[in-house]
Amino acid sequence: MLAAVLVVYVSLTLLFVRLSLREQLDLRLGAEFERVEDLLREGPAGAIEMGGHGDQDEDGGPIEVWSTDGALLYRSEGLDEVLGRPRDAGWSFASLTLKNGTPLRVLTHPLRLGDRDVLVRVALSEEGQRHEWRELLYGLLVGLPVAIAIAALGGHWLARGVLEPLDRMARHAERLAAENLGERLPVDNPEDELGHLAQAFNGSFGRIEESFSQLRRFTADASHELRTPLTAIRTVGEVALQDPRNLEGHREAIGSMLEEVDRLSRLVGSLLFLSRADAGPALHREAVGLLALAKGSAGLLEILAEEKGQRIDVQGDAGVTADVDGLILRQALINLIDNAIKYSPRDSSVRINVQRDESGAAVVEVIDQGPGIPEADQVRVFERFYRIDEARSREHGGAGLGLSIALWAVRAHGGRIDLRSRAGEGSTFRIVLPGGSA
């Protein structure tokens, strides 16, 4: 590309210089005609003569005078051959070469001499201008390859200097694997483009490392949660087999095993739900009344609340609707209400409010009277398998997946879940959905 640009540049330069030199020569020819015009005169018997210092001086050139009918009336004495009959009666410029090889630039100009019209032809040699042009041409032809060679070497050196950090980054990135994701690309200068690129890659590596860490934690927690009920089932079964005649003991063992199977089924169901959620299932959106949806979700859990002497109060604006997938959003509400029932004390209440905020967004609040969530744990409560209190969570039968499912269900609709809680003062989970309408 650089060679092509230089060739075009050289060609245009040569063309410009050639035209400029010719323009200068044409100006000199015009001045020469004015000089000759003052010297030409009509002699005896109609002959054309040159006055002054004769035919031409050392700065002048060949001169011819022609009649309008094509007759040669005058020619410089030093001119060995005729410049040629003018092609027309107007003034014009032309280039020609004599038999001895001398290049000439000729100006033909009409002139009134006495009582007749004649055509005066004055000429100047182009050899000087052509010599200058050839010297420029040779200089450029010699300098062009040198310039291209210097540019190639300089470009190679510059490219190596620029690309070497990229090469180092590529080699470093090739060494990264799941076992050493904690390493980061070197950042020589964080202010330049390569520094920004390295920082962007490091940010990506950090997110990948966090994803791997979450995957490891998820795998370990899932394995632990699955092993616990399986171990219980096996232990109860082995104990029951030791006394084959104890029918009542067998019934209790079968009941315990069924409880663990139920817990295992709920855990597997939650894992499958999250797996489908990660795959991005299609949502079937429609306008859904959120107050009716909240009442329906609460109705499914009333039995659990009654067992603890609790009551569920659902109130709000019946006109608040949102464009959502009712089944998916109901799953989120069920998990939030179930959590509120589990962690609220006996004879307490769980409140659900449906309303619109100042921006017009649809809001569903689930408020419990539980022990609250410490501020240090509020950031992580939505992580999969995360528990604030392992013992209490297992006592209530939770696997630590309910809030993760609720968060995904709300985010899938473009909303968010806000948490307000203080230790000992209960918790409020606030679902905010965009585009709420009345």
Model pLDDT for residues 9-59, shown as the tens digit of each residue:
889 999 999 999 999 999 999 998 888 888 888 877 777 887 754 444 445
Residue 266 pLDDT > 50: yes
Q: Which CATH number fits domain 193-277: 1.10.240.10, 2.60.34.30, 1.10.287.130, 3.40.50.170?
A: 1.10.287.130
Cα distance between residue 176 and residue 156, in whole Å:
29
Query: Domain ranges in the chain?
Result: 2-132, 193-277, 283-433
Would you say 353 and 316 are in contact if contact means Cβ atoms under 8 Å apart? Answer: yes
SS3 52: coil
Cα distance between residue 181 and residue 96, in whole Å:
80
The pLDDT assigned to 400 comes to: 67
Cα distance between residue 187 and residue 44, in whole Å:
98
The pLDDT assigned to 295 comes to: 93
- Measured CA to CA in angstroms, residue 55 lies from 41, 78, 202 at distances of 12, 8, 88
The pLDDT assigned to 399 comes to: 58
Give the predicted TM-score (pTM) of the model.
0.49
Class of the CATH-defined domain 2-132: alpha beta
The pLDDT assigned to 422 comes to: 81
Query: Would you place residue 392 in the very low, low, confident or very high pLDDT band (cuts 50, 70, 90)?
Result: very low
Q: What is the β-pairing status of strands 349-356 and 311-316?
A: parallel
| Angle between helix 326-343 and helix 290-300 axes, rounded to 10 deg | 50
- Measured CA to CA in angstroms, residue 229 lies from 71, 218, 320, 427 at distances of 127, 17, 42, 30
The pLDDT assigned to 313 comes to: 93
Which pair of tokens denotes residue 44? 């005896």
Q: What is the mean pLDDT of the chain?
A: 80
* Fold exhibited by the domain 283-433: Heat Shock Protein 90 (3.30.565)
Of the listed ranges 68-77, 143-152, 178-187, 289-298, the one predicted with least confidence:
178-187
Query: Would you place residue 277 in the very low, low, confident or very high pLDDT band (cuts 50, 70, 90)?
Result: low
Residue 132 pLDDT > 50: yes
